[in-house]
Amino acid sequence: MAERIVVGMSGGVDSSVAALMLKEQGYDVIGVFMKNWEETDENGVCSAEEDWADVRSVCDLIGIPYYAVNFSREYWDRVFSYFLKEYQAGRTPNPDVLCNREIKFKAFLDFAMQLGADRMATGHFVRTDGEGRLLRGVDPGKDQSYFLYMVHAQQLRKAVFPVGGMTKAEVRAYAEAHGLPVSHKKDSTGVCFIGERNFKKFLSTYLPAQPGDMVSPEGKVVGHHDGLMYYTMGQRRGLGIGGCGTGESWFVIGKDLAQNRLLVAQGEDHPALYSTLSIGEDVTWVGDAPIRDGETLECTCKYRYRQADQDVRVTLEGDRVRIQALTPQRAVTLGQSAVFYKGEECLGGCIVTSVLDAGKAKTNNN
């Protein structure tokens, strides 16, 4: 009897190609569409309905059974409530990492096992091996290991990633050659499962905005903000401050939650934008922890998706890590993930909760 693999299908080209490849390789393939958000967007469009129609079309074409499952409650309880709490705390969360841990590799994996699956599959651009190591996808521009660092080895041993060894161009060419109707469908962007939105308008429906002052490093009020939750470290656009003084653009350098002030400074290379030392909590290792308490790991790190690898020293301090970057890092953002690598392998990561030396690092960022 053929091995049964349940594929999480989004209606996009990547998961569609994953399902087709597995079908052609002789597996017993079942497609499952996850609906995790009930609301329409600001234009009254329910993208989930459109995506579900694409899933049905693809599954009918390649000849596999399909199901839809609703994880909206799990998504709200495990992902979106955290998302809102982080914004309330003045941080900038990355819901995709939590979405992968709690929904795709927990709720969905459990559902796949209920369908009698031997393994699950997704359209992520990552690779794994029999030991459950998480490896980068071969397409450096599409590698998604950054978003999967919270997934553990025991889950990865039950997963397969058919497109992880392909480039995006190869995926689209494969889809087109096999007549898949989604071969040229635009990639999804925006918040995980919610999609592209007018983010300011979207967030304001869930959290009350508290306008306040924008303040320079000298303590001078230079403008007014619409609510601290709408801004993030290093942001330039949307501040609405003219180039007074030096004539240089203004950038967000921090938030004063106690006084509801947005801290801003002029100049893309202002010292307050740079740091080398940060603290990370909610530490997660894909496999066995590579260091014990008090030990230091030399590796590379990404402080944000698509960033080039940065050389760091990571020291485990109880249930947190101290991250020492060897070169100054620009706009390290509280609430974002710092993800650690050794070559092609993603080791794990953490949530950045504090930056210790902003403004003290040299600004010769390499």
For residues 124 and 259, state if they share a domain: no
Q: How many Å apart are CA 215 and CA 199, to the nearest integer?
A: 24
Listed residues 227, 249, 266: the one ending a domain: 266
Based on the domain organization, do 141 and 106 belong to the same domain? yes
Predicted structure pTM score: 0.92
Q: What was the pLDDT predicted at 366?
A: 37
Does residue 198 fall inside a structural domain?
Answer: no
What is the predicted pLDDT for the residue at 181? 95
Residues composing the chain: 366
The answer on 20 and 131 residing in a single domain is: yes
Distance CA 204, CA 227 (A): 9
Q: Give the domain-ending residue among 266, 285, 303.
A: 266
Give 284's strand partners.
Answer: 349
Which residues are annotated as catalytic?
99, 192
The tens place of each residue's pLDDT in the chain, 366 residues long, gives 899 999 999 999 999 999 999 999 999 999 999 988 766 555 555 568 889 999 999 999 999 999 999 999 999 999 999 999 999 999 999 999 999 999 999 999 999 999 999 999 999 999 999 899 999 999 999 999 999 999 999 999 999 999 999 999 999 999 999 999 999 998 875 555 455 557 788 888 899 989 999 999 999 999 999 999 999 999 999 898 865 556 789 999 999 999 999 999 999 999 999 999 999 999 999 999 999 999 999 999 999 999 999 999 999 999 999 999 999 999 999 999 999 999 999 999 999 999 999 877 754 443
Residue 120 inside a domain? The answer is yes
Q: Do 45 and 76 sit in the same domain of this protein?
A: yes
Question: How does DSSP assign 64-95, residue by residue?
Answer: --EEEEE-HHHHIIIIIHHHHHHHHTT----H
Q: Tell me the pLDDT tens digit for each residue of 320-329.
A: 999 999 999 9
31 and 164, same domain (yes or no): yes
CATH number at residue 237: 2.30.30.280
- Position 196 in a domain: no
**Please, which residues bridge with residue 278 across strands?**
323, 355
Q: Looking at the structure, do residues 250 and 306 belong to the same domain, yes or no? A: no
Overall domain count for the chain: 3
